[in-house]
Structure 1
Amino acid sequence: MSTSPTPLRAVVFDMDGLMLDTEPLYQAAWQRAAAILGYELDDEFYLTLIGTPTKDALKKVGAYFGPAFPLQRFTKLGADQWYRQVEEHGIDTKPGLLPLLDQLEAAAVPRAVATSSSAKQAAETLEASGLAGRFAHIVTSDQVARGKPAPDLYLEAARRLELPPTACIALEDSEAGVQSAHTAGMTVIMVPDLKKPSPQAESQAYKILSSLHQAAPLIADLLAH
């Protein structure tokens, strides 16, 4: 896939799974919450939730377990278990993220976040990981009409950056995120996390890389042209 003919001038980051190693924490929290309620949330099903807004993921969980499943209690237990996971393990940044951010900051490249988390979740997560203040804009799922895989998050990020979407590079780890950014018109670099890229993601991504270390020189090259 080729890049946009529009000069690339900004970078928009996904958060969970791309910048932060939070997906295993979410998975452990939700599986523990389900177990407390007497249900098994298996790994295969959890992978289908990655990249979708929390409210949509919760609806999927409710549909998966059926009408008798206590979704409201699961939601509270899941949040409690998440905070416990963070307290016990902290939130690690993905390898290569901090040098990449330093590189972009040194070059005065505008940066934004487009995340399926809520504004509250995003603020808490970025603060806990030490990333608060490193982005000009944080766009969250509760600030747009539709979450990923719809393009709304990335379109809103471009609007706040005051750039056309075609002038932005998007960094994503999930299929839903790649589809969202691609549909918005951005040049998408995928760094998969827990789930291997699908054929659709492979066709929509400009490049698929194994780490953010690889992304740094590629982004520098794209921004230079």
Structure 2
Amino acid sequence: MTKPAFQAVIFDLDGLVLDSESGYFAAWQQAAAQMGYRLSQAFCQSLSGSHGRRINQRLAERFGRDFELEQFHELSNQIWRERVGQTGIPVKKGFYQTLQCIETLQMPYCLATNSRRGDAEQCLAWAGLAGVFAKLICREDVENPKPAADIFLKAAETIGISPQCCLVLEDSPIGVAAAVSAGCTCLFVPSVLPADPDASGMAHRVLPDLCAVADFISAAMVDPL
């Protein structure tokens, strides 16, 4: 059997493994409304995959310097935690299928996210995925967050596979840009439709969900990229 172009898989978290972003957006909108502001769904979606500093920058640009960022984050975090504490966080369709495929092929894999470690671990626990990822690369593990390449370069180093031999699964344009910058092969599984055309153009392929990703990985073992 000829080896495919990738030998390991790197997962993003929010919007890719977990259907968490819709919950974040709803909490942001509710918190903003309580403060007398309005956040559109389109604006929230434009922040998909962004790190905290970038989110704060965009909020300040939209609402001005008088916007109380600390109050907004406290409110939205409280709203979101109350909701997911009761209902959990849904796992994206096809994740278990993709994971089973990777494990059957005995490929190393890890998770690489712009989230802080404590937040990532808590979200995985709420989704029933605690312990699924033995290796997590998080915001505090690197100097620069996505869209910089740092997180994926660190992930490749952590699992002992060169970036050029890593397959990254991403749902956001910011994540795709980071993966491509790191030299990885990237599948774009957009969480926001229509799919961003720039990210679609950068990615190796655009797939509708993780079920299709599992099929892609299985096929690549037979017909290398």
Shared fold per TM-score greater than 0.5 = yes
Q: Secondary structure at the match of 2:112?
A: strand
Q: Secondary structure at the match of 1:170?
A: strand
**Which of 51, 71, 74 matches 1:73?**
71
**Which of 109, 120, 123 matches 1:122?**
120
- Which residue of structure 2 aligns with residue 11 of structure 1? 9
Alignment of 1:103-142 (within 5 A): 103-142=101-140
1:162 CA displacement: 1.1
1:6 CA displacement: 7.9
- Which residue of structure 1 aligns with residue 50 of structure 2? 52
1:223 CA displacement: 4.3
Structure 2: how far apart are the matches of 1:81 and 1:159? 37
C-alpha distance 205-193 of structure 1, shift in aligned 2 (>3 A): same
Mind listing any 5+ residue stretches in structure 2 that lack a counterpart?
none
Alignment of 1:76-225 (within 5 A): 76-223=74-221, 225=224
Alignment of 1:32-43 (within 5 A): 32-43=30-41
Q: Deviations over 1:169-217 (max 9, x none)?
A: 0001111111110110111111111243222212211111111111102
Amino acid in structure 2 at the alignment position of 1:145? E
Amino acid in structure 2 at the alignment position of 1:202? S
Amino acid in structure 1 at the alignment position of 2:109? R
Work out whether residues 174 and 195 of structure 1, in 8 Å CA contact, stay in contact via their aligned partners in 2: no
Structure 1: how far apart are the matches of 2:47 and 2:180? 19
Amino acid in structure 2 at the alignment position of 1:221? A
C-alpha distance 26-11 of structure 1, shift in aligned 2 (>3 A): same
**Percent of residue pairs bearing the same amino acid type:** 36
Alignment: residue pair count: 221
Q: Deviations over 1:32-89 (max 9, x none)?
A: 1111111111112112211111232123212221111111111111111110221243
Mind listing any 5+ residue stretches in structure 1 that lack a counterpart?
none
Work out whether residues 8 and 223 of structure 1, in 8 Å CA contact, stay in contact via their aligned partners in 2: no
Runs of 4+ in 1 over 6 A off after TM superposition: none
Q: Cα RMSD (Å) of the superposition? A: 1.6
